[in-house]
Structure 1
Amino acid sequence: MTGIRTNAIPSWCPGCFNFQILAGVQNFLDKQLKSGKKKQDFGIAAGIGCHAKIFDYLSLPGINTLHGRVLPTCIGMKLANPKLNILGFSGDGDAYSEGMEHLVHAARYNPDIKYIVHDNQVFALTLGEPTPTTEQGFVDKTNPSGVQVPPINPIKIMLGAGATFVARIFANAAQVQEILTEAFSHKGFAFIEILQPCLVFHSDKGYDSRFYNLQKSGHNKSSISAAFAKAEEFDYNSSSSKIPLGIFYQEKRKTFEEIKSKKAMKSKILEELWQK
């Protein structure tokens, strides 16, 4: 197999927005290969859920890991081989429920990995249970009276945890390709949330009429206060508020690998001095 796509036949539902995400990822990776990179320059990881099927459709080395453990898997690959370009995939349940503890600390540590969260605000693979981003009032078989607790705001959480690249887009192939280009030019942890309806369990909430582009509106992505203000505009609960898309925040900071490398070098020097 020389191309990015494998021969596996996608098993997503017809019309699933994961096809758009796959197309955007494929277009980005195809361009990377044409520019001289090789497949072995990349490493991918995916968790458990509808999102994780993307692992079967990309002909790249990686690990289809445990539920909620995408980030420690990605960090392990990066520490083992710092030259790899690491891309992780999670769903909103995988990232914000089982994987939340890893997400917060990955933002703190700032490993040079790129992390995509497919957020359809529902556990779709297990037939429609709510996730941490499900809106209040959502009815399913486990919540016949509707979800009572408010959803989390992942953008605010990432900003508060210290992520150096925080973005949100819609499940559109062109947007996916564009944001990956930006993310891979950033050295550090890049958090990318992709809003996507689930056609079966959490359909379109009128997203199209509510989106606007942060960069086209003059947003200052180097301002943490401006980023928090924009993150407040959509609380994952409202069905009418505007939804900003694009890069909320970006800053330069030492990566986890750089810090670990210096510590390892210092330990080696001390060991050599001790032996003398």
Structure 2
Amino acid sequence: MLPELNIPRENFVFVSGIGCSSRFPYYLNTYGFHGIHGRAPTLATGIKASRPELSVWVITGDGDALSIGGNHFMHAIRRNLDINIILFNNRIYGLTKGQYSPTSEFGKKTKSTPDGSIDYPINPLCIAISNEATFVARSIDVDVKHLSSILTQAAHHKGVSFVEVFQNCNIFNDGAFKHFSERKVRDDRTIRLEDGKPLVFGRDRDKGIRLNGLKLEVVELRQGVPETDLLMHDIHDPEPHLANLLARMEYPDFPVPLGVFRSVAKPTYDELMEAQVEDAISRSGAGDLERLLNSGDVWVVN
């Protein structure tokens, strides 16, 4: 996907924290920064603020972003920094040998929860949407074509792009998503979100999602429900309510949604900061750091 963006590879920066996902910068022939646990958004903020022309990507995992890094993750999103955040979600701590993570399902038995987790899992999409992320999407590792398409859209978005990627952990959580991702069941258990189209799914495209009051419901089209009754997907809706409802759909009550949930325009942090600096310079001049440091009350240490 990256070569097709027509951006020189020296203008890419991939920043990561700690975890299996965080070795990602080593696998690319671009600039990269391997940071400390959960702080990749902080590093990315500094890079983008000082070099706004660069294409900056944060690579993180469900533990790195949503546990120790939750605060940094949230604030990078609310600022609408023009960066891309890719969260590989395998619902386990893989690097540290299989403890439960913030996205592990309730009752999950792991090395750190032998009797089952009593923590309720975090929904990464809901966290992103509630913090007004201007681009929110989800894909899955076994569908490279779909994933590449989603990442391309994220790269072209002006503002913060958040993409959750369901990723299997072969060692410590093998098969976490096979109940809806395997070829023989995925048509009936997933739904592809397409802008401007009704929410239809199923091997025979005979089921859909309808809005009933303030709730979503699955309906059977062959039982006389017309497609015009279905919810029409609109990624450009400035209000986040429907995107949040879609993000909360989970199997077995609903098909698992994949695609772009939200894509809206909003001034970015780096643009606003640059404009603020230019305004200050126009009012007060370019400034002199040496003069500033030696002005006012100063003292000499002999």
- Same fold, judged at TM 0.5 (above): yes
CA offset digits 1:80-126 (Å, max 9, x no partner)? 11100111100110111111101111111001101100000110011
* 2:255 is the counterpart of 1:242: yes
Aligned residue among 196, 211, 214 for 2:167:
196
Return the letter of the residue paired with 1:186. Answer: H
CA offset digits 1:181-220 (Å, max 9, x no partner)? 1011110000000011212211224122322101163421
Return the letter of the residue paired with 1:233. Answer: M
What residue in structure 1 maps to residue 278 of structure 2? Answer: 265
What residue in structure 2 maps to residue 251 of structure 1? Answer: 264
% identical aligned pairs? 32
* Bigger proportion of residues as helix: 1
How far apart, in 1, do the equivalents of 2:244 and 2:44 lie? 27
Aligned residue among 142, 155, 159 for 2:129:
159
* 2:177 is the counterpart of 1:207: no
Contact 2:23–2:34 under 8 Å retained in 1? no
TM-score w.r.t. the length of structure 2 is: 0.76
SS at match of 2:257: strand
What residue in structure 2 maps to residue 225 of structure 1? Answer: 241
Q: Deviating runs (4+, > 3 A) in structure 1?
A: 238-241
Return the letter of the residue paired with 1:207. Answer: F
How has the CA–CA distance of structure 1 residues 48 and 160 changed in structure 2, closer, same or farther, with 3 Å as cutoff? same
What residue in structure 1 maps to residue 63 of structure 2? Answer: 93
* 2:153 is the counterpart of 1:182: yes
Unaligned runs of 5+ in 1: 1-27
Return the letter of the residue paired with 1:145. Answer: D
Compute the RMSD of aligned alpha carbons.
Answer: 1.8
TM-score w.r.t. the length of structure 1 is: 0.83
Return the letter of the residue paired with 2:248. Answer: E
What residue in structure 1 maps to residue 225 of structure 2? Answer: none
SS at match of 2:158: coil
How far apart, in 2, do the equivalents of 1:161 and 1:91 lie? 18
Q: Which has the larger radius of gyration?
A: 2
Aligned length: 242
Aligned residue among 79, 82, 86 for 1:109:
79
How far apart, in 1, do the equivalents of 2:27 and 2:77 lie? 28
Shift of 1:239: 5.7
Unaligned runs of 5+ in 2: 200-231, 289-302
How far apart, in 2, do the equivalents of 1:125 and 1:242 lie? 30
Return the letter of the residue paired with 1:197. Answer: N
